[in-house]
Amino acid sequence: MNLKTNPELLPLVEWWEKDGKQTVIMLAVVAIAVAGWYGWKSYRADKLDAASDALVSAYTAEELEEAVSKFGGMAASGPLKIRLAKSYYDAGRFEESMAIYDELAAKPVDGFGDIPVVGKAQCLEALGRFEDAAAAFDAFAEANTNNYLTLTARLGAARCIAQAGDKAKAIARLDALKAAAGDDELAAARIEATVKAVNRFEKKAQ
């Protein structure tokens, strides 16, 4: 049967010739777009999972460097960079560690904004820039009087003051911290360890 000779199908034929082809093309485009969106969503989810795995499984500087390069721009990138900076610090690569801390301080990672500031101060101390380090530690402690890193900063400042040559001032600060620690045994132990360190600094200087 000739399709065009069937009167019942004439409206369908007219619609197809006028709008049908364009409608089908539009539906195909929409279908491709939807499939692409779901594909991207699946890819994104897989990459997030991979980034999370890297955050807990990468240990060496090389592994962390690869993870930072691979997952840059994702939520895990900041914590990975913090771990890389610490890895550099532990390996004695203080300048490289400090460069990462500077980068992170300029664009703080949500929930980890305090670490780069103290981390940079520790790098300055390790590089022998004791006055700069003490100033950085003190600035953090004064701006964050009830932070989980406050004691770390105050102890760091005392160490730097001692290494810069003023042991008496360092010990006075540590004595004040001891008095403020009260019954906090962990804090008291950390302070006492720093006192011993300060005494070792003096022996090395002699």
Is the pTM value of this prediction over 0.75?
Answer: no
End-to-end CA distance of the chain: 111
- Domains of the chain and CATH, by start: 1-95 (no CATH), 114-206 (1.25.40)
Checking if the pLDDT of 120 tops 50, the result is yes
pLDDT tens-digit series, residues 38-61: 454 444 444 444 444 544 455 577
pLDDT digits (tens, 9 = 90+) for 73-110: 666 677 888 888 988 999 999 999 999 999 999 888 77
Q: In b/e form, how buried is each residue of 153-182, taking b as 16+ CB within 10 angstroms?
A: bbbbbbbbbbbbeebeebbebbeebeeebe
Average model confidence (pLDDT) across the chain: 79
Q: How confident is the model at residue 128 (pLDDT cuts 50, 70, 90)?
A: very high
Please tell me the distance from the alpha carbon of residue 162 to that of residue 172, in angstroms, as a whole number: 11
Q: What confidence category does residue 35 fall into, taking pLDDT thresholds of 50, 70 and 90?
A: low
> String of b and e for 125-134 (b: at least 16 CB within 10 Å)?
bbeebbeebb
Query: How far, in Å, CA of 156 to CA of 123, rounded?
Result: 11
